[in-house]
Structure 1
Amino acid sequence: MDIDINEILNHPIVRQILLWLALGLGVGIVAKIIIPGNEQMGWIRTIGVGLLGSFLGNFLAPKLFDWPTYNPFSLPGIGIGIAGAVVLVVVNRIVTKS
């Protein structure tokens, strides 16, 4: 039984998961650059902050500010996601007192 890595990577679900992980990592890194600090956040936590910030930003912004709903992978969606992740970095700093 041979496993073809290209076949696995080209599966739509795998590609979607990899895309979300890349978005989370990118948004998390940008948020940490905007709010520099001494947080001990590894890659997993950075991805988590980016994903959660992107989700919260894109979910809450239209409800709070009467904005249209954006695709999280669009330029406005990424910007809103970064804003959400920045808020999470600040909340993390307050909670962990770092």
Structure 2
Amino acid sequence: MDYVYAVLNHPLTHKVLLWAALGLGVGVAAKLIIPGSEAMGWIRTILLGLAGSFLGNYLTPILFSWPAYYAFSWQGIGIGIAGATVLVLVNRVVTRS
């Protein structure tokens, strides 16, 4: 039981859970930004959102020389939405061909 408590209270666990929550919102936002009907389900939307959120949280400190905690700011969320939007467009191109 102490192990479970230690894992759940680890800062990395909190980051991953926050990325997952942001990924859901980012995926939905990216899907709403792209015009037209997308034939992808919620699971793919969440996965693309997670990937976009991860890219935003990973690339924000690298691209802008910001501290890592800025990735969880409005700028990081915006970059996550942009990354997920690009991934939705790539998904559209790949699945149509």
TM-score over 0.5 for the alignment?
yes
> Which residue is 2:78 aligned to?
79
How far did residue 61 of structure 1 move? 5.7
For residue 18 of structure 2, what is the aligned residue in structure 1? 19
Q: Is 2:91 the partner of 1:92?
A: yes
Distance (whole Å) between structure 1 residues aligned to residue 27 and residue 49 of structure 2: 4
* Residues in 2 aligned to 1:17 and 1:50: alpha-carbon distance in whole angstroms: 13
Change (3 A) 1:94 1:56: same
Matched, 1:68 2:65: yes
8 A Cα contact 2:56 2:71, kept in partner? no
Which secondary structure state, in structure 2, belongs to the residue aligned with residue 36 of structure 1?
Answer: coil
Larger proportion of helix: 2
Distance between the aligned counterparts of 1:31 and 1:79, measured in 2?
A: 10
Question: How many corresponding residue pairs?
Answer: 89
Structure 2 gap ranges (5+) = none
Q: Give a deviation string over 1:31-90, Cα, whole Å, max 9, x none.
A: 011113322222221111111112224434665xx4224533211000000000000010
**Aligned residues with identical type, % of pairs:** 62
List runs of 5+ in structure 1 lacking aligned partners: 1-7
Normalised by the length of structure 2, the TM-score is 0.70
SS of structure 1 residue aligned to 2:71: coil
Please report the TM-score for the alignment, with normalisation by the length of structure 1.
0.69
2:34 pairs with 1:35: yes
Give the Cα separation in 2 of the matches to 1:43 and 1:12: 29
Between the aligned partners of 1:68 and 1:37, the Cα distance in structure 2 is 36
Flag as ranges the 4+ runs of structure 1 deviating above 6 A.
Answer: none
